[in-house]
Structure 1
Amino acid sequence: MSDRRERVFTLRGPLIPILGFLAVVVVFAALWDPKGPSSVPPAVDSEPAVAEQPCPANVNVAWRAAQTVDGVPLEADPSCIADDPALVAAVVRGTNRAIGSLMATQLARDAVVKGRDLDGDGDPDEIHIKLEIAELNGFSPDIPQPALEFPVAPGVTPGIWAFAPKSRGMSTLNFLSNEPNPLLRLPSPVIRVEQGDKVKLTLENSHYFPHTIHLHGVDHPFQLENGAGNDGVPMVSEAPVVPGASRTYEFSPRQSGTFFYHCHVQPQSHILMGLAGMIVVEENRANNYLQTLNIGAGRVRYRSASSRESFDREYDLHYQDMDRELHRIVQQGNDVRRTARAMNREYKIAERTPEYYLLNGKAFPYTLRESLVIVAPDETVKLRVLNSGESPVYLHTHGHKPTITHFDGIALAAPLMRDVIQIGPAQRAELNLRTVDDGLHSYGPGAWFMHDHQESGITTNGISPGGDISLIVYESYLLENGFPRTVGDLSLFFDPRYYDGEIPVWADILPDMFGE
């Protein structure tokens, strides 16, 4: 017995180095590449098997035509995804006055109430707008995907907050859909009123955090006659609006221009989450009904009298940037205490690095569906631009040199013609885009790039092309489905795998080298 134990211990000594040597051989065999160190990774399948159609087949093509709805004449919008004519008509007439158009939308009856004509010039001057707060791509304990799924690019769904018109019915399209109804989206709606209007703007706080509305640059009193605060700054002019409560802000603007509204509670996160929108104060004219809300910004399909006097078309352009770390917080759970701590104490805004750059709530290639600037030769087009992000936007318009007429609602003494316009955070610019082919204002018809020339601004997740890229497209360069006519096939960019980095950059043009 003792001899056998002795033999076992005697064998264990040489056995250990032998086993160690065999382990090294196995690892080396697993790692060894017979092609040598110069071999390259295998090619990636670049077929867009899960790619979306550039212009979805289920869009309502009838919405694109010029038409009269509920007595409201609407301009054509040949974009792939045009605004719902019933929605536009309802906010022009007022939801308290609209008939069939209101019932075709999910607007509440008191979302946009238009009252008396105080100056006798043929249009209502008492305007009462009610806004709620929506959370998109948030956490749900019941479903694996984000609640109210609103992708800003293929496969990209950051958590978002937005002001939204007061709505009725379901927050989704229907019982079977996780897609939000059309009122719930980025950006927060553009608000249009007229000089001298008596405007009430009510925030009905449907969210789980306190919020306010600050009227940035808009002429408004610090306090109302009853002593209530009216500037939207918590603990200075007023207490914040707690969940379930409401507050009405009032203003009667004396100056026209392009302005800004946003939440002023923890603005370092709430504005960047999406609680910001454009306010346009139009010049006073007779019979001047307005498209009081422009949902999703973009083309203004019912323009003011002053716009029709001087311009052929008008577009609202709202730029934003997003840091994935901030927007991921609301997707981690539904304990509001943890969300508040993560957002207000743990998140480091000084270390913020944006990954998403949006135009009118979308990044390229989705911008090509609904945020094109569509023009025709020999036109003058009004562009109103807001930057509610933290990064400056250096807007470059290929083939055109717009004229800057206003900054922050103030007319420039000497308008400036530029092909790169710097728009800082919270800044607004008004541009006149002329399409006369004279080699200065325009170089002629085409599908001209329009983008941020801060190069990160044309990326999504650091991948280009993405970001806030759009186009100035002449009607002759539009396809029948409203998509721009381009030399290359853009379907590759509608594949979520592209922005996950799984598809090589040039797989579409050099498939033998970069594809499979």
Structure 2
Amino acid sequence: MHKKVIPILCGAMLLPASQWAVAAVDKLPATNSVKMGAAEEVCSEFTDAKWRDAQVIDGVEIQESRMCNPDNPAEIAAFVKGTNNISMSTLMETQLAADAITLGEDMDGDGDPDHYIIKLEIAELNGHSPDMKDPTTTFDIAPGIQPTFWVYAPKTRDMSTLSLYEPVANPLLRAPSPTIRVEQGDIVWLVLENSHYFPHSIHLHGVDHPYMDHSGEGNDGVGQTGQMDVLPGQSKTYVIKPRQPGTMYYHCHVQPHTHIPMGLQGMFVVEENRPNNWVQVFNVGNGQVRHPSVAVKEKYAAEYDLHYQSVDKELHEMVRSANDPRIVARRMNQEYDITDASPDYFMLNGRSFPYTLRESLILMEENKKVKLRILNGHEEAFAMHIHGHKPMVTHYDGVDNGPNSYIKRDVHGMVPAQRIDLELSGVDDGLNSFGQGVWMFHDHVEKSFTTNGIGEGGDISLVVYKGFSDEKGIPKVHGMSLAPYFTREFWQGKYPAWQDYDAWKSLGLPDISNKKQVAFVPPPPPPLNTGDAAAKAEAAGNQPSFIGQLLYGLILGGLSYVGFANRQRIMAMFKK
């Protein structure tokens, strides 16, 4: 019988628990449905749809680009033929200056020019102006996010903005600084026209160049060893004749701990020498190279430049803190401490997700190979990971490893300023590729998934196989809606990422706006009077004394001991 009594007693004790649980649920606040905000179109008509097509302009073959926001084909033609060799109508479809790229004679008779004069300016994006409240010459890296940048840019004409009434930067002025391409063995005059208010320089990191030029001036871009920094309004010509091909780097070497993170850094590619090799001198905005070199086309169906960099808000906001360059210089050179820096924004080719979907996709076809040139422009280590593939590294810092040293893996680590060349194969064999689809790629250092601490953002982009994007170049994804990522509210931390995953918004925010929690304040003690004192004394007299409580406890303890000692007899009684 006792076996039944004990469960019944325990069950009776638990009966009120269901009521407690219901009471607890009933007290939970309702979910507060947060409005998503106005979402931008994933791909509005930024450009003429014909820009995506393969075409020939002034004799320059331009590859197809099924991106939402492709490069202007007229600019590609100018980058290949030079602004001195294209038609006036083509030049007028760009904002390039007439002397931005001057290509000279074919001195070795191999069918392409052998002398380049390339002119760069320095532009400030999202800068401060005393004439307006908001930044000017704007460049958004994500919806509503506008860090200040300094960038090298091809020499342009006309305004730096789209118009007098639109503060948006013209398409040639953007982050990152453009990739520069030249051919192995050619003579290159790289002219820096300092249009900025601070001194700057160009250091050709990894590029074959003499310490001094033919006139005896420093040629390394370092003020402490070879030349004075280029002051505002001045110009400097760097003379090179690179003997070795490869993926190199260029950057400012004036106060490099601030000027490089501000954006004065870019990829410099020396292409292998081939006959009739007209290279695309600039790749503005990086990404797809729409006129690959002869050597690249011998092995690959396409080529992409991937420039990764990050932003410390503290540094980039200093530039907008004053109108006086002396004050800005003091704050950047004397007060800013890079050892305390923490990156807030992570970018691929000058944009953060979701804007990377518009212009930094890698477009693949089954059984085809593409070449990826990657620059780690961060101040920290970088880990390149491409879902669904194991790309092979062929070059480190522009040096061919040799076939016996090629490494195929799914994560490729890079230190700051390092470059690697990857071969990405679409062969579906479970090693090179896991098959066609839409595959993400990103830096696998987890904070790089974020934009100002909010994920998923950062430098995320996609490998998209042919047939997996629409006519505007937008990937056909099968997961969650991308609309929240195209709102400012999402990146301001106002929108719960999982709110709309189900119909009842179970993972939204609790509605506590009308339920104020009042702090507990103990009530004051009642005032004492003689009557109360007498009552308390009488009540105290009725309480058992300490000796009485002790005896009471001993009696209960004794009874408990007797019950325990005779437990078998007591249990036998229940069995009867």
Does the CA contact (< 8 Å) of 2:31 and 2:508 recur in 1? no
Match 1:403 to one of 377, 392, 398: 392
Give, in angstroms, the shift of residue 59 of structure 1. Answer: 2.8
Match of 1:289 in 2: 278
Q: 1:61 aligns with which of 49, 58, 64?
A: 49
1:497 aligns with 2:489: yes
Max radius of gyration: which structure?
2
Aligned to 1:448: 439
Deviations, residues 117-161 of structure 1 (Å, cap 9, x unaligned)? 111100001001000000001111122211111010111100111
CA contact (8 A) 1:138 1:148 kept: yes
Q: Which residue of structure 1 lines up, in the alignment, with residue 208 of structure 2?
A: 219
Match 1:244 to one of 223, 229, 233: 233
2:7 corresponding residue in structure 1: none
Task: Kindly indicate whether the alpha-carbon contact (under 8 Å) linking 1:44 and 1:503 is maintained by their aligned counterparts in 2.
Answer: no
- For residues 41 and 328 of structure 1, do their structure 2 counterparts lie closer, same or farther at Cα, with a shift above 3 Å needed? farther
Quick one: which of 448, 451, 454 aligns to 1:463?
A: 454
TM-superposed deviation, 1:226: 1.3
Secondary structure of residue in 1 paired with 2:257: helix
* Aligned counterpart for 1:85 among listed residues 73, 78, 81: 73
Whether 1:424 aligns to 2:415 is yes
State the Cα distance separating 1:42 from its structure 2 match. Answer: 5.9
Partner of 2:90, secondary structure, is: helix
Any gaps of 5 or more consecutive residues in structure 1?
1-34
Contact 2:47 2:69 (8 Å CA) reproduced:
yes
Is the contact made by 1:44 and 1:514 (CA closer than 8 Å) also made in structure 2?
A: no
Taking the aligned partners of 2:500 and 2:471, their CA distance within structure 1 comes to: 24
Alignment-derived partner of residue 148 in structure 1: 137
- Does 2:323 align with 1:331? no
Match of 1:102 among 91, 101, 107: 91
1:510 is displaced (CA, Å) by 3.5
- In 2 relative to 1, CA 141–40 (structure 1 residues): closer, same or farther, beyond 3 Å? farther
Change in Cα spacing, 1:515 to 1:199, as seen in structure 2 (3 Å) is: same
Most deviating of 387-396 and 245-254: 387-396
Aligned to 1:513: 506
SS of 1:273's partner is: coil
Asked if the contact 2:82–2:103 (Cα under 8 Å) also holds between the matched residues in 1, the reply is yes
Cα deviation, 1:167-209, whole Å, max 9, x if unaligned, reads 0001111222111111100010100001101000000000000
Q: Whole-Å Cα distance in 2 between the matches of residues 338 and 42 of structure 1? A: 49
How far apart, in 2, do the equivalents of 1:425 and 1:287 lie? 35
Q: Kindly report which structure 2 residues correspond to 1:263-282, keeping only aligned pairs within 5 A, or say none.
A: 263-282=252-271
Task: Judge conservation of contact 2:46–2:69 (CA < 8 Å) in 1.
Answer: no
Is the 8 Å Cα contact of residues 261 and 276 (structure 1) preserved in structure 2? yes
Determine the C-alpha separation between the residues in 2 that align with 1:58 and 1:194. Answer: 33
Q: Which residue of 1 aligns with 2:574?
A: none
**Counterpart amino acid of residue 204 in structure 1:** E
Q: Secondary structure at the match of 1:224?
A: coil
Answering whether residue 311 of structure 2 is matched by residue 322 of structure 1, we say yes
Q: Percent identity?
A: 51
C-alpha distance in 2, partners of 1:150/1:216?
27
Per the TM alignment, residue 348 of structure 1 is displaced from its structure 2 partner at its CA by 1.2
Return the offset for 1:44.
4.5
The whole-number CA distance in structure 1 between the counterparts of 2:299 and 2:223 is 40
Deviations 1:425-446 (A, max 9, x none): 1000000000010110001111
> Of 137, 153, 157, which aligns to 1:168?
157
The question of whether the paired residues in 2 share the 8 Å contact of 1:203 and 1:247 is answered with yes
SS of the aligned residue for 1:148 comes to coil
Residue from 361, 365, 368 that aligns with 1:376: 365
Match of 1:253 among 239, 242, 245: 242
RMSD after superposition: 1.5
Amino acid in the other structure paired with 2:506? M
The runs of at least 4 consecutive aligned structure 1 residues that moved more than 4 Å come to: 38-42
Deviation per residue, 1:22-66 (Å, 9 max, x gap): xxxxxxxxxxxxx99x8569624233x322111123432111011
In structure 2, how many angstroms separate the alpha carbons of the residues matched to 1:154 and 1:510? Answer: 25
Match of 2:177 in 1: 188
1:46–1:508 contact (8 Å) kept in structure 2: no
Q: Does 1:437 align with 2:436?
A: no
1:209 aligns with 2:201: no
Give the deviation of 1:508 after TM superposition.
Answer: 3.2
Amino acid at match of 1:119: D
Aligned position for 1:23: none
